[in-house]
Amino acid sequence: MSGFGLKIVVFLLAQAVSLGLVWNQLELEQTEALLIENLKHHVLQLRQRYQLIRKSLAQLRAESVSAHQDFEVHLSVPHRALALIRRLHEDWPKWMVYLNATKAGAGQIRVAKELRQRLPKREDLIKAASDVHGLQIIHNLVPQDPYFRQLNSRDCLALGKYLAHLKNNQHAKDWLKLSLKLYRASGESNKYKSIYKDSQHGNLLYHLGAAKYAQNPSDGDAVKLMAKAYELTPHDEHILAHAESVLEQRTYFDGCRGAFPIKSHHPSIHCRYQNERSDFTRLAPLKLEILSHDPYVAIYHDVLYDSEMQGLIDSTRRRMSRSMVQYEVRQIEISEQRTSNEAPFTEKYNPQLLKRISDRIKDMTGSDMMRSEVLSVVLYDLGGHHDLHVDYHDLYWNPLEYKDQTFGDREASVIFYLNDVADGGATVFPKLQLVMQPKKGSALMWHNLREWGEGDPRTQHAACPVLQGYKWVAVQWILQGARNAISPKDALGSRSAAVDRKKLF
């Protein structure tokens, strides 16, 4: 390399080192800036925490009974005793949690833990709430009465929850309304946001909505309140479970009232003749209408003859007994959730008719009818209904509980409608937004399980109350093991071309 070339290389190396030093210096300066910003943020958090504690301390001092010289006279007033017990039972344990979470002084935490043993129990709070309510009843007072002006939003919430537990929903609703009003007026949502891990606002809305709903399940405001509470309390399992149940129930009501959108022209609706399963269906094809592909739900029109339907009714009319509900493996009992009467239909009563119906179900579903429960005929009289439920037992997740079950879970359900219902009595699937009005001679069939055997919660359904007349149905549950059961793919098979709904029906 020439001397000139060597000089260029040395120059470039020097430049590179110089640039590297500059780059490293810039990186270090940026790092220091980030550390300063982080420390600044920490100081801001400490300041906010200090301001929160200072404001809360002033409020706690104002509420404390120590501000009154005569403790005994002060605490002889029921609502004052309630406020003190509620603060000690509900508020102070949360302050202790807050001290731990914010790593307060070890001395303060130790003292708080020692004092915690002296705090009131839940039964003390219940007794105090009962005393206040007794005073309210005797003197015919309303929550807005000046006598109760010392109660804050959380005190009123405790009273409302207590009365709701007693199912005194009107008084509970009055206290909860006042609690919500005081909550919004005092700005407690900001003051206690860092202390209370649960959402007071969500609790308020939930309990107010629950009280209104208990009084009137058709109250639209109750449902809106519980829906909002559902959003605000993502970690409260009790609120979430009950609110979800109420919202599902409301959807069920909507289905019974005809509020579901009409799907007669929906692209997924598929109608065809089914004629490939047996000699009978080749001569008399079944009219199949698919309402849902996933999960599979279908209607078979004109699938039973008048003589067959009358035979089912005549054979069971005098043997009816109250329908039962199965809650656990061996817990079967009468329930107001299901108000109907039923009777089994077996070979003992009419073997020829049972065989014809079993063959029809096999033609519809492709199932081995040896793997099915006994056919049941069910009568819903005026007002008769069956609240939201699923047909499967959930063997997928509880296999040992049903170890005596021979064939497995209920893979599919078939409901035959044996008469036209004058008014009401529809079968609704709230999660699918589907409703089936009883039509004499038709049958509703659906799959209860997913392909791998797990229960499909979307198949939750209900029988709406009968408003006029009565409803006769025959119910058949097909158990796991019937591997030839019809599938959505079979239903869309090319062997039978799809036809226009109007031409078919």
The domain spanning residue 387 has which CATH number? 2.60.120.620
Residue 15 CB contacts under 8 Å (≥ 6 apart), including other chains: none
Task: For residues 343 and 451, state if they share a domain.
Answer: yes
Q: Rg (Cα) of the chain, in Å, rounded?
A: 34
- Does 152 share its domain with 234? yes
Encoded tokens for 49: 């925490």
User: Given the DSSP bridges, would you call strands 325-326 and 332-333 parallel, antiparallel or unpaired?
Assistant: antiparallel
Which of 221, 256, 291 is the last residue in one of the domains? Answer: 256
pLDDT tens for each residue of the chain, 505 residues long: 555 555 554 454 455 545 454 555 566 566 656 666 766 766 776 676 666 667 666 666 666 655 444 444 444 567 777 777 777 666 666 666 666 656 555 555 565 556 556 667 778 888 888 888 988 999 899 999 988 888 888 889 889 988 988 989 999 999 999 999 988 887 655 544 445 444 678 888 988 988 998 888 878 888 888 888 888 887 778 788 888 888 888 888 889 988 887 655 445 556 665 656 555 555 556 788 989 988 999 999 999 999 999 999 999 999 999 998 876 655 677 878 899 999 999 889 999 999 999 988 988 888 877 778 899 999 999 999 999 999 998 888 877 766 666 667 899 999 999 999 999 999 999 999 999 999 999 999 999 999 888 999 999 999 999 999 999 999 999 988 754 444 433 433 333 333 343 443 3
274 and 242 in a common domain: no
The reply to whether 31 falls in a domain is no
DSSP tag of 445: E
Widest Cα–Cα separation across the chain: 119
144 touches 163 (CB < 8 A): no
How far is Cα 472 from Cα 416, in angstroms, rounded to an integer? Answer: 9
pTM above 0.85, yes or no: no
User: Is the same domain home to 243 and 299?
Assistant: no
Q: Is residue 60 part of a domain?
A: no
Distance CA 245, CA 316 (A): 35
Same domain for 311 and 175, yes or no, is no
Q: Tell me: do 235 and 315 sit in the same domain.
A: no
* Structural domains in the chain (count): 2
Whether 238 and 317 map to the same domain: the answer is no
Check residue 314 and give its pLDDT.
95
72 domain residue, yes or no: no
Order of strands, edge to edge, in the sheet holding 321-322? Answer: 270-274, 286-293, 296-301, 443-447, 410-417, 471-479, 375-380, 341-345, 321-322
Using the 3D structure, point to which of 196, 229, 256 is the last residue of a domain. 256
Query: What is the extent of the structural domain holding 371?
Result: 270-504
> Are both 333 and 280 inside the same structural domain?
yes
- Whether 288 is covered by a domain: the verdict is yes
Residue 104: which CATH number?
1.25.40.10
What pLDDT sits at residue 396? 81
Q: Is residue 167 part of a domain?
A: yes
Task: Answer yes or no: is 322 within a domain.
Answer: yes
Are 190 and 297 part of one and the same domain? no
The pLDDT assigned to 50 comes to: 65
- Does residue 252 share a domain with residue 208? yes
Contacts of 465 (CB under 8 A, 6+ apart): 256, 383, 384, 385, 424, 425
Co-location of 289 and 191 in the same domain? no
Tell me the C-alpha distance between 229 and 223, whole Å. Answer: 10
Q: Which of 223, 256, 289 is the last residue before a domain boundary?
A: 256
Q: Is 19 domain-assigned?
A: no
Using the structure block, give the residue that is written with the tokens 């110089």. 18
Q: What is the DSSP letter of 158?
A: H
> Cα separation of 132 and 251, whole Å?
38
**Who's near 493: CB < 8 A, 6+ residues apart?**
276
- From CA 474, how far away is CA 467, in angstroms rounded? 20
Say if 168 falls within a structural domain: yes
Q: Please enumerate in sequence order all residues whose Cβ is within 8 A of that of 173, keeping only pairs 6 or more positions apart, or say none.
A: 160, 208, 211, 212, 215
Task: Tell me, yes or no, whether 462 and 379 share the same domain.
Answer: yes
Question: HEC string of 361-375?
Answer: HHHHHCCCCCCECCE
Tokens of 347: 């070979």
State how far the Cα of 65 lies from the Cα of 75, in Å rounded to an integer.
Answer: 8
Is the peptide bond preceding residue 295 cis, with omega within 30 degrees of 0? yes
